[in-house]
Structure 1
Amino acid sequence: MNAMTRRIVIGTAAVSMALTMAACGKAGSSSSDKSNDKSIGLLLPENATTRYEQFDKPLIEKKISELCSDCTVSYDNAAGDPQKQAQQVNTMITKGVKVLIVDPEDSVGIKSSIQAAVNKGIKVVAYDRLAEGPVSAYVSYDNEKIGEEQGQALLNAMGADAKPTSKIVMIDGDPADPNAAMFKAGAHKILDGKVNIAYEQSGLWKDTTANQKMTAAITQLGAKNIKGVYSANDGMAGGIATALKGAGINPPLTGQDAELPGVQRILAGTQSATIYKPYKPEADATAEIAVNLLQGKSITSIATTTSKSASGQTVPSLLIGATAVTKANLKDTVVKDGLYPTSQICTAQFAAACKAAGIE
């Protein structure tokens, strides 16, 4: 083979290799784009409240898989850190997700991150808490109504002590969470004028903070003068119950989320009520909206009402109902729906209480 022939052969091979590599690169890029076209991001706010990892995440992922078998879900949890969640939104944008489900840790602070996602063509669904910014849909519960149910449950548990001179303590949720304001407003609608709200503070959705606030309230008001305690959720109610026990008192105490420890406290008589919010309808509807948005379909049959954000944006919404749960209806709500296995509720410590409540 002469020099000229060698050059032609080598040149032809090089061109062939280059074309092959380009074709491979293009195929890989197309595959990636195709994957991204069916990619949904899921960002949840914290893991101190057990519901998010135990219920919301797996339920949403399962429903998306049922509705769209070749869709992928990218998940992250902010662990209570708004800045971390903002970074997670940026990561989802970089990944190329087409729809982003976000339960904001800070509904106002996340506004610019949501705008950045929308600017990239991403549809955003606000889950459980209404985020500021141009979201396409919002799925949650009727949160002011939940606050009303909490307030009424407390009055019911107080019985004859539910009178304007009776002092109660209110431990509200995190002000950065718009739901907390709605729970608080609903509770005040029921409690104002009926009892004396002698001490009210935010527990920031943390059991430790709620414990500190309750301890301060006991010091300020006197243990025997406290006739009832409103706790915005079960997580904080756990810290509050510890403070009450330490002070040697056991006034009526509310909660929310039907967390397992809250359910067990209700059986044991150290918590009066919780709010049972069935997670599956909320998760299923959110997944359906996300898939519809991904596929360019209408969401009006799911988001049948509207909500207005603090900045005045009207958002297509679905608001789901909830139920106040006490020892009297625990068996017919949480237990009947199989939220937790009976064996998980009725451990040795709570076996007698379960039997007394007809749960075996």
Structure 2
Amino acid sequence: MRGRRWRVGAGLAAAVMAVALAGCSEDGGESTGGLTIGLLLPSRAVPRWEQSDKPLIEKRVKELCPDCTLIYANAENDAGSQRQQMNSMITNGVSALILDVVDPKALRSSVRAADRADIPVIAYDRLAEGPISGFVSFDGGRVGRLQGEALLKGMGARADDGGVVMVNGDPSSPNAAWYEGGARSVLQHKVRILKSYNTLGWRTENAHDHMSAAISTLGTNQIDGVLAANDSIAAGVIAALKSARVSPLPPVTGQDADLDAVRRIVEGEQYMTVYKPFRQETDAASAMAVALARGNDIDALVTTSVDSPTSKDVPAVLLDPVAVTAETIGQTLVRDGVYTLDQICTPKLRPACDRVGLTR
């Protein structure tokens, strides 16, 4: 990744508004209309795609372009399905595509097909390969560093040469290596990485199998912390630790601020998660897609550039993630309206919420 790195805030908000205004006709009417934007998300295994990203993009596209139509497909973590979905959208003549790619290499030919059809593609959350027109994501290296720093803090005195198991993401996703690299940059020379696994599909059950294997090989006394790449993986890790009757549980990281993970943090089973303010990401992607669908440039909307394996200087927005522990849930997730206290603090968790200061 390279290029200038600016924080995204009021400047991007102003630029997004400019895009909305640019869509109005000179006689003061509504936007040009007749535009269709395709949204392709990778799976339902990670709750955020269906619960946060999809509705937020639908809402923002409609705000920026009332006459635009958004069509949606979920690949269920299958690259072949996503290729068929994308090719169908291209055949139907969409005006722009927002693509959260399952497998960049497998979808490269479809990205090229979109380019030949003059359909711009915005790579969303994961960097796609081929002639993409823009990229919106959170800084993956920063995500991994936040996880590594929190894990060391959670390990306390054991952070000095303690033993860590890494349960990483799916290697077909470019973000998996990005996260892992960031985490390793913090953990190397500080702790011993006892085992490292790749988790196909980011699936909870696969993470459970990895953690069970680590426990079987290493025993329980050597494992002082677990670097879990996201909250779905953390769920499998924690289930395996509990099945092995590990007590107390070692600190376990996560990512995505899934509601179940937030509840696990309150309960003391998961140490932290990484919150990625989804509205910032969905707003940026929606603005870029609407601008490109209308034939406008996106210079005012981007903040940096990145290189993919196939393209140089892709216009990009890289946003800042936020580490969340039990002590900071209120000032991050609750403050931003991601979850209410009632959603987090079920009757069973009410005493735990009181202990960590999540009170009405």
- Which TM-score applies when normalising by structure 1? 0.89
Instruction: Find the partner of 1:225 among 222, 226, 239.
Output: 222
Residues 286-321 of structure 1, C-alpha deviations (whole Å, 9 max, x = no match): 000011101122211111200111234321000000
Identify the residue that residue 300 of structure 2 maps to in structure 1: 301
Task: Give the partner amino acid of 1:276.
Answer: Y
Instruction: Find the partner of 2:187 among 182, 185, 191.
Output: 191
Larger radius of gyration: 1
Identify the residue that residue 263 of structure 2 maps to in structure 1: 264
Tell me if the contact between 1:102 and 1:124 (Cα under 8 Å) persists in the aligned partners: yes
Q: Helix, strand or coil for the counterpart of 2:328?
A: coil
Identify the residue that residue 240 of structure 2 maps to in structure 1: 243
Task: Give the partner amino acid of 1:317.
Answer: A
Tell me if the contact between 1:36 and 1:98 (Cα under 8 Å) persists in the aligned partners: no
In the TM superposition, what are the counterparts of 1:50-69 in structure 2 within 5 Å?
50-69=47-66
The 2-side partners of 1:83 and 1:64 are apart by: 27
Residues 218-271 of structure 1, C-alpha deviations (whole Å, 9 max, x = no match): 011111111000000001100110001111220010000010111011100011
Tell me if the contact between 1:37 and 1:97 (Cα under 8 Å) persists in the aligned partners: no
Tell me if the contact between 1:168 and 1:199 (Cα under 8 Å) persists in the aligned partners: yes
In the TM superposition, what are the counterparts of 1:310-325 in structure 2 within 5 Å?
310-325=309-324
- Equivalences, count: 326
Give unmatched runs, 5+ long, in structure 1.
Answer: 1-33
Instruction: Find the partner of 2:173 among 170, 174, 177.
Output: 177
Identify the residue that residue 328 of structure 2 maps to in structure 1: 329
Residues 62-89 of structure 1, C-alpha deviations (whole Å, 9 max, x = no match): 0110010000001000011000000001
Identify the residue that residue 31 of structure 1 maps to in structure 2: none
Q: Helix, strand or coil for the counterpart of 2:327?
A: coil
Q: Helix, strand or coil for the counterpart of 1:63?
A: helix
Q: Helix, strand or coil for the counterpart of 1:328?
A: helix
Residues 94-113 of structure 1, C-alpha deviations (whole Å, 9 max, x = no match): 21101011000001211001
Instruction: Find the partner of 1:105 among 102, 107, 129.
Output: 102
Residues 295-348 of structure 1, C-alpha deviations (whole Å, 9 max, x = no match): 122211111200111234321000000111111111111111111122111112
Identify the residue that residue 80 of structure 1 maps to in structure 2: 77
The 1-side partners of 2:357 and 2:159 are apart by: 29
Tell me whether 1:145 sits opposite 2:145 in the alignment.
no
Q: Helix, strand or coil for the counterpart of 1:318?
A: strand
- Which TM-score applies when normalising by structure 2? 0.89
Q: Helix, strand or coil for the counterpart of 1:188?
A: helix
Task: Give the partner amino acid of 1:192.
Answer: Q
The 2-side partners of 1:186 and 1:319 are apart by: 15
In the TM superposition, what are the counterparts of 1:285-296 in structure 2 within 5 Å?
285-296=284-295
Residues 167-216 of structure 1, C-alpha deviations (whole Å, 9 max, x = no match): 11000000010011100000000001100000000122110000000000
The 2-side partners of 1:95 and 1:35 are apart by: 19
Identify the residue that residue 17 of structure 1 maps to in structure 2: none
The 2-side partners of 1:79 and 1:129 are apart by: 16
Instruction: Find the partner of 1:134 among 131, 135, 158.
Output: 131
Identity %: 46
Identify the residue that residue 280 of structure 1 maps to in structure 2: 279
Q: Give 1:359 shift.
A: 1.6
